[in-house]
């Protein structure tokens, strides 16, 4: 009944055909709709903003969605409370540029993500908060301290770095100061020593030389990120980079992607061995298998990071969304295996 009333009220606001209406930012920031969770999982995504004001040359999001528009704090808190009431264990904050949240809400254009996290951290019934998609230059000491000192925010830091070579980064329209990737990673580890770090990269960007790609691989071995994935550059029709000269051949992009992933798999395996092998860890239960349950550690996001397969034996099987303890017996680059303790 509530959903029907909502959609009926929304339809009444639709302007006559062919009549353009100016975008009302206050309406966009306060927009609410009933959430329907079709997956029945232990987690839910909570969108805190839309659009992006960055100008990465490979991306068409600003052209499609426009500049950053942050939802109001009250709107986000109400949606979070609604999701908590449905039994969701973990709320995952997302947007195209999550760390820029609130820059459009304040005269000084200062990010407000740290303040938002502090507010969400106080909600009754909240268990786990996770943040995805942090722009490198906005991973500030204030934000990291808010994550590190919170009661419920996972010590998980996702920073899409895209590359480490300054020339490639400058061509991408990204922060390109030499050594910037190492500095932001060092800052994270200094403030949150036990943080799980994830990043994404692009290989085969127009003009990327073999020397620049090898530099990326060398930097990857120094950064030693818990998780890193890469994409072969895709030539989007309306992206600025689609018009760049020196487009990299498809076979070269495929070969570089394979080499990148092979290098990172070795790093992830060695990190998993040190961090988890033979240890008891907390596991968020995401589903059930024939022999037990599967889930993630607190330092893993769904669908992209480690999956933990847990044998339950004759013990009582944890429910979806529970946090149980498992002893890890084998590890790989993406999968952990263990038994319920």
List pLDDT tens digits, range 240-287. Answer: 999 999 999 999 999 999 999 999 999 999 999 999 999 999 999 999
Band of the pLDDT at 336, cuts 50, 70, 90? very high
List pLDDT tens digits, range 78-112. Answer: 999 999 998 899 999 999 999 999 999 988 899 99
Band of the pLDDT at 12, cuts 50, 70, 90? very low
Nearest-angstrom CA–CA distance, 186 and 303: 26
Please list, in sequence order, all residues whose beta carbon lies within 8 angstroms of the beta carbon of residue 171, skipping any fewer than 6 positions away: 57, 205, 206, 207, 241, 244
- The pLDDT, as a whole number, for residue 1 is 44
Q: In what order do the strands lie in the sheet with 43-47?
A: 43-47, 90-94, 128-131
Is the distance from CB of 47 to CB of 94 less than 8 angstroms? yes
pTM exceeds 0.85: yes
């Amino acid at each position: 009944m509530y959903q029907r009333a909502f959609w009926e009220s929304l339809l009444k606001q639709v302007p006559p055909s062919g009549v353009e209406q100016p975008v009302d930012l206050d309406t966009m920031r306060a927009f609410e709709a009933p959430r329907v969770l079709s997956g029945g999982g232990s987690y839910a995504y909570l969108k805190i903003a839309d659009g992006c004001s960055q100008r990465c040359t490979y991306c068409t999001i600003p052209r499609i969605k426009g500049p950053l528009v942050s939802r109001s704090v009250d709107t986000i808190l109400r949606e979070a409370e609604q999701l908590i009431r449905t039994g969701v264990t973990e709320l995952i904050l997302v947007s195209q540029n999550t760390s820029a949240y609130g820059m459009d809400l304040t005269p000084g254009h200062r990010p407000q993500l740290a303040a938002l996290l502090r507010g969400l951290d106080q909600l009754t019934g909240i268990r786990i908060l996770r943040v995805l998609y942090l722009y490198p230059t906005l991973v500030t000491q204030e934000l990291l301290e808010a994550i590190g000192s919170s009661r419920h925010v996972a010590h998980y830091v996702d920073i899409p770095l895209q590359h480490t070579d300054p020339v490639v980064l400058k061509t991408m329209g990204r922060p390109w100061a030499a050594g910037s990737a190492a500095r932001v990673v060092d800052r994270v580890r200094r403030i949150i020593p036990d943080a799980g770090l994830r990043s994404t990269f692009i290989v085969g960007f127009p003009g990327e030389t073999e020397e620049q790609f090898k530099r990326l691989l060398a930097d990857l071995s120094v950064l030693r990120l818990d998780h890193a994935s890469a994409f072969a550059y895709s030539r989007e029709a309306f992206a600025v980079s689609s018009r760049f000269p020196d487009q990299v051949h498809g076979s070269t992009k495929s070969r570089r992607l394979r080499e990148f992933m092979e290098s990172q798999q070795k790093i992830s395996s060695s990190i998993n061995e040190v961090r988890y092998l033979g240890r008891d860890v907390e596991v968020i239960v995401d589903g059930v298998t024939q022999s037990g349950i599967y889930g993630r550690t607190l330092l893993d996001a769904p669908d992209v990071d480690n999956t933990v397969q847990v044998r339950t034996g004759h013990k009582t099987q944890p429910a979806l969304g529970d946090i149980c303890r498992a002893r890890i017996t084998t590890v790989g680059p993406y999968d952990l295996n263990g038994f319920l303790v």
